[in-house]
């Protein structure tokens, strides 16, 4: 498989299926309502912004969470099965990959360093710039050998100085996706000496009713770090792998990454 094949945009999905059940965890994590599409095509990102006090279970303002636009799971092509449905045990995602990508939070600015192609498609070489030079060639060959179909990505910077990059990698099957080792304790990120498990993640997951999943890992750059600290969220869901990276000079807060991981995980279910 060539790099061009891996980055080719996919066709838009067809009419929407029946409405899907709301996700309690997402409601506890964002000031926007997590909505499921009932009709039409594509993902409808509204701008409903109720006060935090209007949503049960949300903490007070100033706890470090960001406000996202209203999220919607995308429509599927006619007859396509939901991921992990009885007739889709391999967890194949039939929706357009860009529509499964977490949107930028309200008030953020696009990351000028991340320059996606049409429909948020990211070239393999662009994605690999996140990793150390010694790791790139091996990872690129792995993508060719293991059925990488496409990478999409989105980046933004918020007023608190946190820079975020979210990447979704789609493989031809979940077995091929399982070969991806670019997110976890051994990930060789550019300029990072060592990553370790985020000890706060377990408590955050329980506190906000996030589902327990072996496919979700949250990492942080070990102390001491350089001018900035990086945090990483890893989400595995069938044929898709999500890599979420956040960094900020002087240290990166944990809460925004926990929030992004939970929301991205919910969009992929």
| Segments forming the whole domain that contains residue 151 | 3-267
pLDDT score, position 207: 84
44 HSE (CA, 13 A, CB side)? 15
Please state the domain count of the chain: 1
Does pTM top 0.85 for this prediction?
A: no
237 vs 17, higher pLDDT: 237
Give the N- to C-terminal CA distance of the chain in Å, as an integer.
27
Bridge-based pairing state of the strands 240-249 and 163-171: antiparallel
Per-residue pLDDT tens over the stretch 119-153: 999 999 999 999 999 999 999 999 999 999 999 99
CA atoms of 151 and 25, how far apart (whole Å): 26
Question: Taking a C-beta distance cutoff of 8 angstroms, is the pair 218, 257 a contact?
Answer: yes
């Amino acid at each position: 498989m060539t790099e061009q094949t891996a980055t080719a945009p996919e066709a838009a999905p067809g009419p929407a299926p029946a409405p899907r059940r709301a996700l309690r965890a997402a409601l506890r994590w964002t000031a926007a309502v997590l909505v499921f599409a009932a009709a039409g095509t594509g993902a409808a990102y509204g701008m409903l912004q109720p006060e935090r006090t209007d949503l049960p279970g949300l903490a007070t303002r100033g706890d470090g969470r960001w406000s996202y636009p209203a999220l919607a799971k995308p429509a599927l092509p006619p007859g396509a099965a939901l991921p992990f449905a009885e007739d889709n045990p391999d967890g194949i995602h039939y929706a357009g990959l860009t529509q499964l990508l977490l949107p930028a939070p309200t008030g953020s600015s696009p990351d000028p360093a991340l320059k996606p192609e049409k429909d948020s498609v990211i070239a393999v070489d662009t994605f690999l710039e996140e990793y150390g030079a010694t790791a790139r060639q091996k990872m690129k060959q792995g993508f060719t050998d293991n059925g990488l179909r496409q990478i999409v990505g989105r980046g933004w910077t918020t007023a608190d100085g946190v820079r975020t990059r979210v990447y979704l990698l789609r493989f031809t099957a979940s077995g091929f996706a399982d070969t991806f080792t670019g997110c976890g304790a051994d990930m060789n990120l550019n300029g990072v000496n060592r990553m370790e498990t985020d000890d706060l993640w377990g408590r955050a997951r329980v506190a906000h009713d996030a589902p327990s999943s072996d496919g979700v890992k949250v990492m942080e750059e070990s102390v001491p770090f350089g001018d900035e600290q990086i945090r990483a969220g890893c989400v595995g869901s069938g044929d898709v792998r999500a890599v979420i990276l956040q960094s900020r000079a002087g240290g990166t807060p944990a809460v925004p990454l926990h929030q992004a991981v939970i929301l991205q995980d919910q969009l992929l279910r």
